[in-house]
Structure 1
Amino acid sequence: MTRNKVSGQDLAKLAMIRSNVSSFLRNCGETFVVGSGERLLDVAPQDHEGAAPYFPTARISTFDIDPESGCDYIGDICKKNANIADGYFSYVVCTEVLEHVRRPFEAVDEIERMLKPAGLVFVTTPFNFRIHGPLPDCWRFTEYGLRELFSNFEILQLSPLEDVDRFLMPIQYTLVARKRA
């Protein structure tokens, strides 16, 4: 018996998640017009394409906890990062990150602090997906959990990526929220 083999079902869901993240960011880049030179923070883009292809007019900075990541800012999204001023960014992209943080409410508080008034955050997070790296993989959020996490924001969009084979068990959620002015 092979215990460490990733199942075909999980590989298919991963492909759906990655495709959904790309579609979501493309839609955000087209729908929520990023003015030329506005600052956007891409949280933990890791090995994926990140936000840059979808927000071509933004001044993009990257952020990660890993000092080897090569990101512009190294820090913990769950703590105040003194090297980033309050209200510095117009936009924050946080895709497939919140499930990995140890203190998600503090992470959302830090995102709120870094955003300008009326700034937007673009979030994706898996729900019905296997434990995955980078570890730790701590959380899965329902629609209701995301509404609670972002209760200080105005939620503009909150959409599930439905699993046609499992009623009320979406694969992933996408969220667009505005910081209250």
Structure 2
Amino acid sequence: MAPLAALRRLAAEDHRHPQFNAHVATLLDSVPPPGLCLSVGGGPGRPHPRLTNLNIAPFANVDIVGDAHALPFAGGSVGGVYCEAVLEHLEDPNRAVAEMLRVLRPGGLALAATPFLQAFHGYPSHFQNFTTEGHRLLFARAGFEVLDCGPCVGPAYVVTSLVSTFLAQFPPRLLRLGDRWLVRHPRAAMLCSTTYVLARKPAAAPN
């Protein structure tokens, strides 16, 4: 029973790419208090207490009600932007990323994680997913300097999440343990569940 319990604990852990987790720390460190680190689409969860959640409705843990397509902040007033599992739900992600660029201070970081191979899900709808290259271009076209991009959650999660759509039982989740190794594979981006992009507003860019 003890080995099974250990496997369950491991399967429940966050197996995102270590580089993505390092970028989360870098983003937060780049915005010392009382600077604003905005989580676009955040809530009801709060991945870190430093994040200020913005969403379209007053869900639990939502600090600011607003639209990602028209962020309620002055240009250059936000220290950093975090956006996880949100861009797939936006009708116009190009406009939303342009808004992130507008509100960021010069040199500010934006970190996004967005599904690539996931089934239709979520609220208010699900419009698109992004490959690593598509994710990179989304931010580059908006005017960001893309510093890094790659797989965030790996191939094993793709398999288990799709299978779990039909099989709501424990054994498929054990396969997610494979992402401890597969998410680091050089070809993980070809079959990853989500991708990430870390971008910076150029210092000379206008607000």
TM-score under structure 1 length normalisation = 0.75
- Listed as ranges, the gaps of 5+ residues in structure 1 are 1-13, 53-57
- Shift in alpha-carbon separation, 1:72–1:46, aligned structure 2, 3 A: closer
Partner in structure 2 of residue 34 of structure 1:
30
Q: Mapping of 1:118-133 within 5 angstroms?
A: 118-133=107-122
In 1, Cα distance between equivalents of 2:55 and 2:23: 22
Q: Mapping of 1:63-102 within 5 angstroms?
A: 63-69=54-60, 71-79=62-70, 81=71, 83-102=72-91
Relative contact order, CA 8 A, sep 6+: which one is greater?
A: 2
- Shift in alpha-carbon separation, 1:126–1:49, aligned structure 2, 3 A: same
Residue identity matched to 1:34: S
Cα offsets for 1:72-122 (capped at 9, x unmatched):
32111112x3x4111111100100000000000000011111100110001
Higher alpha-carbon deviation: 157-166 or 146-155: 157-166
Partner in structure 1 of residue 144 of structure 2:
153
In 2, Cα distance between equivalents of 1:29 and 1:133: 24
Task: Report if the CA contact (8 A) 1:158-1:176 is conserved.
Answer: yes
1:114 paired residue among 76, 79, 103: 103
Task: Report if the CA contact (8 A) 1:163-1:169 is conserved.
Answer: yes
Residue identity matched to 1:50: P
In 2, Cα distance between equivalents of 1:78 and 1:103: 7
Give % identity: 28
In 2, Cα distance between equivalents of 1:29 and 1:143: 18
How many residue pairs match? The answer is 158
**Which structure shows the bigger proportion of residues in helix conformation?**
2
- Shift in alpha-carbon separation, 1:134–1:24, aligned structure 2, 3 A: farther
Partner secondary structure for residue 155 of structure 2: coil
How far residue 35 of structure 1 moved from its aligned partner, in angstroms, is 4.6
**Which structure shows the bigger proportion of residues in strand conformation?**
1
Partner in structure 2 of residue 44 of structure 1:
41
Partner secondary structure for residue 45 of structure 2: coil
Greater radius of gyration (CA): 2
Task: Report if the CA contact (8 A) 1:42-1:50 is conserved.
Answer: no
In 2, Cα distance between equivalents of 1:71 and 1:114: 19
- Listed as ranges, the gaps of 5+ residues in structure 2 are 1-10, 160-186
